[in-house]
Amino acid sequence: MSERVAFLGLGIMGSRMAANVAGAGFDLIVWNRTQSTAERFCETHQAALAHTPQDAAADAEFVITMVVDGPQVEQVLLGENGAARAARPGTLFIDCSTIGPAATHEIADQLAKRDLALLDAPVTGSSPKAQDGTLTIMVGGPEAGFHRARPLFDAMGELIVYAGPSGQGQMVKLLNNAVAASNASVLAQALVVGKRAGVDLDALVSVMGAGAGGSTMLDLKAGPMRTHDYTTLFKDVRSDSGEVTQEIQPFFKLEHMLKDVRLCLEEGQALGVPFPAAALTREILSASTGRGHADHDFSAMIDVIEAAADTRLTE
């Protein structure tokens, strides 16, 4: 009999990761705060529907969470109707949300009081890699749990890295995202200076891509920044009458990137270690939320740089 996996949180990332868990032959049961999302998921995937996290976890070997932040993970696992209430001895909890080491330690301690173990297993790769099952997954927590969960990680990811004790997966993830967001910020600044200097931006992007100015952010974000299209991911949405329409979703919500950079700076601050580039990036992301971009892809940070320079890349 295949092992039962409870998957809690079917947003942009969770829905795609859960689909790959089902595709790998696990016995999947899903829960989502907005139940209609979970119902739609179960119509198109081999999965059972749970009405609460507690119901989902009742017979599960593994409980995966993919929600937004620490308070949400705590609520879903330890709150009223939380998954930990139903977990049996040996159930392994795997949190794939990006919540930072501090919240992870807090939740791991709470679970340990019930003799339950937690792996922090945040992911990078955004929705296309979540869909393809090619995410990078960085894992902290008990190493035996890591080996036990390896087939699950293989179903969702390609590069799977054991990062060390509890919280270290989160710390690696925060540092990676602070660097990624800072790279995107530098790219935005270069594009705006180039535009103002009358540079052919096609030439600039193609030269940077071939040289030392290249980066993953150049490949992924120069396009959306230049077209001001921060919402290019489509997902099928089925109405009650069965009609299917397409809903636009961001690749990586700017407010989630702001959360990650903020958490990274908090860890650095607690250690007394500066990260000035990330601090500037936090300010740019923060100003972007003030300009209405919280729910857009974080490439929308170009808007703040354009406003400061009074220069638009395209009219």
H or E segment at 241? Answer: none
Q: Which two tokens stand for residue 257?
A: 């990137």
Q: Which is nearer to ligand NAP, 181 or 192 (CB)?
A: 181
Q: Which is nearer to ligand NAP, 218 or 220 (CB)?
A: 220
Q: Which two tokens stand for residue 203?
A: 């030439």
Q: Which is nearer to ligand NAP, 110 or 311 (CB)?
A: 110
Q: Which two tokens stand for residue 16?
A: 């795609």
* Interatomic CA distance for residues 289 and 284, integer angstroms: 9
Are the CB atoms for 97 and 84 separated by under 8 Å?
no
Residues that bind ligand NAP (CB under 6 A): 9-14, 32-34, 37, 66-68, 72, 75-76, 97-98, 123-124, 126-127, 251-253, 256, 260
- Provide the greatest CA pair distance for the chain: 65
Q: Which two tokens stand for residue 82?
A: 């939380």
Q: Which is nearer to ligand NAP, 53 or 141 (CB)?
A: 53
Q: Which is nearer to ligand NAP, 66 or 186 (CB)?
A: 66
Q: Which is nearer to ligand NAP, 146 or 251 (CB)?
A: 251
Query: What are the helix (H) ranges across 123-167?
Result: 126-132, 143-156
Least separation in angstroms between residue 315's CB and ligand NAP is: 29
Strands 4-8 and 27-31: parallel
Strands 123-124 and 135-140: antiparallel
Are the CB atoms for 91 and 116 separated by under 8 Å?
yes
Least separation in angstroms between residue 40's CB and ligand NAP is: 11
Query: Which residues, at least 6 apart from 272, have a Cβ–Cβ distance to it below 8 Å?
Result: none
What sign has the CA pseudo-torsion 18, 21, 25, 29? negative
- In 53-169, the DSSP E strands lie at 62-65, 92-95, 117-120, 123-124, 135-140, 157-164
Least separation in angstroms between residue 207's CB and ligand NAP is: 28
> Which residue numbers are catalytic?
173
What is the four-CA torsion angle of 224, 227, 229, 230, rounded to 10 degrees?
A: 40
> 293: alpha, beta or left, given left = phi > 0 and alpha = psi -120 to 50?
alpha
